[in-house]
Amino acid sequence: MKTKDIKYYRCPPQIQFAKIICKIFFVLMPFLLILMVIENRPEDYSSYSEYVIAFFMPPLFMMACTFFAGSWPDIGIDDDGILVEFLWVYLRVSWKDLIEIKHIGSRTFGVWLITTNNRLTFFHRFFGLWTTFSWKPGFHLHTQSLQHREALKIIQKQINRIHRT
């Protein structure tokens, strides 16, 4: 499929900015952890638990940044399926790999979880676990984004078409 045949649906500019900040922190946190290991000693902290918590914070912050950036993906749609943005890459999900689309939350501020039998990434399993208590991988689309609303209509049509056959 040619790149020009892909229609992209992007998040609002404010979310794009927040995702960029999260990606920057994602890159900087391993360096902070290395710096903490090199420069700090347990004696520098008032308690051992404070020392342990300090070393868990960068990995936890990395996971939180990854979860936020991954839960607001830009997507591309073409005849073959969906391209789901995750950090700096687009992951391909073919139409036949879609399982279901499920709305969670309020109509205004809710989120749609699109589950798939495609593996995507380990973090995409957490999106399913977080929103529907399912270990199936999936990705979120938010109803606040007008472009995501348009993409949801296309995805819903494709899922209905797939389940009819």
Q: Which domain holds residue 21?
A: 9-70
Query: Model confidence at 82, in pLDDT bands (50, 70, 90)?
Result: very high
Residues 56, 83, single domain; the answer is no
Residues 101, 138, single domain; the answer is yes
Mean pLDDT of the chain: 85
pLDDT per position as a tens digit, 112-134: 888 888 778 888 888 778 777 77
Q: Is the pLDDT of residue 6 over 70?
A: yes
Segments in the chain forming alpha helices (H): 13-39, 48-71, 122-132, 146-164
Last residue of a domain, one of 54, 70, 86: 70
Residues 63, 83, single domain; the answer is no
User: Is residue 128, in this structure, part of any structural domain at all?
Assistant: yes
Q: Is the pLDDT of residue 68 over 80?
A: yes
Q: Report yes or no: 95 and 155 within 8 Å, Cβ to Cβ.
A: no
* Residue 1, pLDDT score: 43
Instruction: Quickly tell me which residue has 């990395």 as its tokens.
Output: 62
**Residue 153 is part of a domain; what is its CATH number?**
2.30.29
Q: In sequence order, which residues have a C-beta less than 8 Å from that of residue 75 and are 6 or more positions away?
A: 8, 9, 82, 83, 84, 85, 139, 141, 148, 151
The structural domain count of the chain equals 2
Q: Which residue has the higher pLDDT, 142 or 4?
A: 142
User: Is residue 82, in this structure, part of any structural domain at all?
Assistant: yes
Residues 62, 83, single domain; the answer is no
pLDDT per position as a tens digit, 12-51: 899 999 999 999 998 999 998 888 888 877 777 888 788 7
Q: In Å, what is the CA distance from 86 to each residue of 14, 20, 39, 70, 122? A: 18, 12, 33, 5, 11
DSSP secondary structure string for all residues of 3-34: GGGPEEE---HHHHHHHHHHHHHHHHHHHHHH
User: Is residue 4, in this structure, part of any structural domain at all?
Assistant: no
Residues 95, 77, single domain; the answer is yes
User: Is residue 132, in this structure, part of any structural domain at all?
Assistant: yes
Query: Model confidence at 5, in pLDDT bands (50, 70, 90)?
Result: confident
Last residue of a domain, one of 24, 43, 70: 70
- Bridge partners of 92, per DSSP, are 83
